């Protein structure tokens, strides 16, 4: 496939081109200024109001020294201010960098030094951890603080109120499609997270392909997300993509517990739900699920970790709604392989998204035959430029237009892709590589298992065998009898060498800030970290 054929799915982006205009201001030109853009609890903001506030943010940023391509570190819970800060940063020509507001001081110290942010926008609730880090920061960025107590920094509302949204400081920066726009952080599975550097057109490209041609966002949609906006998966599905079509977004600042999500579903009646497998599982295990009215939903999305077929089937049976599972990455911004509406194959990640091309390659970069596992190599119009400050890792991952993943996949002849796991998660049992996901999916099909994570552990002879960390379902208790039953279940559905030799019972599995099972923590317990 040639480059022109590959990118035909998206018309060329004009010059100048600024994402604030593309996602936000276009709604005013298209007559949606009075439409509700954001819902937070009982409060709402129209597109016109979000635009006016973003203009004020842009003016504040420039007044405090922000120049084009300077970084703005956004450390906020989900709410109106996150959207305003994000759009205002782009409007001023800045580069957004978003991190979890629930981190600790030492983590904030790392991000402040790494990003060299000119301005930080945070919340008073975060000050107990970030406040001292800001005061001690080598480059002393300006800090805007949302909330009742600015802690000696600049109060956000006071700063915005002092600016003229029609003045020159609030003007739209005439960026181009190839100008820097945002940093998306890797999960940091090895060492500190690194930033994937993206330009304005990267985010628009993914919107025009995945959001419009696969997920199918509509102006009439009301969108709700489990992952928080600092995570690029959610920034796309619950801010960029809905704003592209003039839909309505529901935001809430708290933890995405099953009770909180059911409350949001009842109150706002969303049509579009962005989730992760853990969330779908928690909802289905909730005592409230039997009486919950989920009839407003028309689309459910999942990404971030493998979606077990058993979980997909349960959700589809309960709601009548498909889960469109897919794979994306910070390196490519968003999803580039996905299941399609009306064409979902449980256990698979689906097919390539229009405008992208993928290959499965071996360790030497040679394309392998269909059905054989290997690293995924993908290209399209949203590939990051590099990892900031890491030349070697950039060269290992990015080869021209291609981006090579650290994950292992296989492609079947009919074009469907399957995730095998990270290369360092694969187990070599009896001399044969085994995917933990295969064992996990079999265990999850057992009625006593709610959650599971399979890792490798050496036995007394130094040979690696599977070990399963299991959260039993309500009404079941971890015991030798249950372990024996699960072993028998695995032997019935798997090759004999694949069954777990040990079981560890847990009330819950550790999760990272993106909702994935924190395998690294469990590996550390086994001495494998």
CATH number, domain at 29?
Answer: 3.40.50.980
Write out pLDDT tens, residues 197-246: 999 999 999 999 999 999 999 999 999 999 999 999 999 999 999 999 99
**Percent with pLDDT over 70 in the chain:** 96
Instruction: Give every CB contact of residue 86 below 8 A, 6+ residues apart in sequence.
Output: 74, 96, 98, 229, 235, 239
pTM: 0.86
pLDDT for the residue 424:
67
Question: Encoding tokens for residue 305?
Answer: 């970790």
Higher pLDDT, 433 or 340: 340
Number of structural domains in the chain: 2
Q: What's the CA gap between 301 and 325, in Å, rounded?
A: 6
Is the model more confident about 294 or about 435? 294
Structure tokens at 155: 């109060």
**What domain range includes position 20?**
15-199
Q: Is residue 335 part of a domain?
A: no
Residues 486, 474 contacting (CB under 8 angstroms): no
Token pair, residue 69, equals 């391509």
Residue 336: inside a domain: no
In angstroms, rounded to a whole number, what is the distance separating the alpha carbons of residues 47 and 49?
5
When computed from its CA atoms, the radius of gyration of the chain, rounded to whole angstroms, is 23
Sheet holding 464-472, edge to edge: 449-458, 464-472, 502-505
Per residue in 401-424, pLDDT (tens digit) is 899 998 889 999 999 999 887 776
- Structure confidence by residue, pLDDT tens digits, 89-126: 999 999 999 999 999 999 999 999 999 999 999 999 99
Q: pLDDT grade, residue 438 (50/70/90)?
A: confident
Query: What b/e readout covers 414-449, taking b as 16+ CB neighbours within 10 angstroms?
Result: eebbbbbbeeebbbebeeeebbbbbbbbbbbebebb
- Which tens digits make up the pLDDT trace of 259-285? 999 999 999 999 999 999 889 988 999
Q: Domain boundary residue among 183, 199, 215?
A: 199
| ω into 425 cis (within 30 of 0) | no
As a whole number, mean pLDDT of residues 511-529 equals: 80
- Is there a contact between 509 and 453 (Cβ–Cβ < 8 Å)? yes
Instruction: Show which of 168, 199, 230 is a domain's final residue.
Output: 199
Residue 237 DSSP symbol: I
Average pLDDT of the segment spanning 64-87 = 98
Six-digit token string for 471: 């959260």
Of 178, 199, 220, the residue at which a domain comes to its end is 199
Q: How many CA atoms lie within 13 A of 201 on its CB side?
A: 17
Over residues 21-61, the pLDDT tens digits come to 999 999 999 999 999 999 999 999 999 999 999 999 999 99
Q: Are 70 and 183 in contact (CB under 8 A)?
A: no
- pLDDT at site 321: 98
Residue 432: CATH number of its domain: 3.30.300.30
Burial of 496 (0-12, 13-18, 19+ CB in 10 A): exposed
Residue 113 lies in a domain: yes
Report residue 174 as tokens.
């005439």
What's the whole-number mean pLDDT along residues 436-455? 91
Looking at residue 4, its pLDDT comes to 67
H or E element, residue 483? helix 480-493
In this prediction, residues 372-387 reach a mean pLDDT of 96
Q: Is the pLDDT of residue 430 over 90?
A: no
């709700």: which residue's tokens?
224
């Amino acid at each position: 496939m040639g480059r022109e054929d590959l990118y035909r799915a998206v018309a060329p982006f004009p010059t100048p081109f600024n994402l604030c205009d593309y996602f936000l201001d276009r709604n005013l030109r298209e007559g949606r200024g009075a439409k509700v853009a954001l819902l937070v609890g009982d409060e709402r903001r129209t597109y016109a109001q979000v635009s006016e506030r973003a203009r004020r943010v842009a003016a504040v940023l420039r007044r405090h020294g922000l120049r084009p391509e300077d970084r703005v570190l956004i450390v906020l819970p989900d709410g109106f201010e996150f959207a305003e800060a994000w759009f205002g940063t782009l409007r001023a020509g800045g580069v957004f960098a978003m991190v979890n507001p629930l981190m600790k001081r030492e983590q904030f110290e790392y991000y402040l030094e790494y990003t060299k942010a000119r301005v930080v926008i945070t919340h008073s609730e975060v000050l107990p951890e970030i406040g001292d880090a800001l005061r001690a920061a080598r480059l002393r960025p300006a800090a805007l603080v949302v909330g009742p107590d600015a802690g000696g920094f600049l109060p956000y509302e006071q700063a915005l109120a002092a600016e003229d949204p029609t003045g020159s400081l609030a003007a739209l920066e005439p960026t181009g499609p190839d100008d820097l726009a945002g940093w998306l952080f890797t999960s940091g599975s090895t060492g500190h997270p690194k930033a994937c550097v993206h330009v304005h057109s990267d985010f628009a490209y993914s919107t025009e392909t995945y959001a419009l041609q696969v997920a199918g966002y509509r102006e009439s949609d009301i969108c709700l997300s489990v992952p928080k906006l600092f995570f690029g998966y959610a920034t796309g599905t619950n801010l960029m993509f809905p704003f592209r079509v003039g839909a309505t977004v529901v935001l809430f600042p708290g933890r995405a517990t099953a009770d909180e999500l059911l409350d949001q579903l009842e109150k706002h009646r969303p049509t579009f739900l962005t989730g992760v497998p853990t969330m779908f599982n928690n909802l289905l295990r909730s005592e409230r699920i039997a009486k919950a009215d989920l009839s407003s939903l028309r689309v459910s999305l999942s990404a971030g970790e493998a979606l077990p077929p058993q979980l997909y089937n349960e959700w589809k049976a309960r709601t009548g709604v498909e889960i469109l599972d897919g794979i994306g990455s910070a390196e490519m911004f968003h999803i580039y392989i996905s299941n399609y509406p009306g064409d979902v194959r449980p256990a698979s990640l689906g097919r390539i998204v229009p405008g992208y091309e993928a290959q499965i390659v071996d360790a030497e970069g040679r394309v392998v035959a269909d059905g054989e596992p290997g690293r995924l190599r993908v290209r399209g119009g949203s590939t990051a430029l590099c990892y900031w400050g890491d030349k070697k890792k950039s060269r290992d991952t990015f080869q021209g237009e291609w981006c090579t993943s650290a994950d292992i996949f296989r492609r079947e002849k009919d074009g469907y892709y399957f995730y095998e796991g990270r290369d360092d998660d694969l187990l070599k049992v009896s001399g044969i590589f085994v995917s933990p996901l295969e064992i996990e999916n079999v265990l999850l099909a057992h009625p006593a298992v709610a959650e599971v994570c399979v890792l490798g552990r050496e036995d007394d002879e130094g040979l690696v065998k599977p070990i399963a960390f299991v959260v039993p379902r309500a009404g079941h208790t971890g015991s030798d009898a249950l372990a024996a039953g699960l072993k028998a279940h695995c032997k019935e559905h798997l090759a004999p060498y694949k069954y777990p030799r040990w079981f560890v019972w847990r009330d819950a599995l550790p999760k990272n800030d993106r909702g994935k099972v924190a395998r690294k923590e469990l590996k550390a317990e086994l001495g494998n970290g």
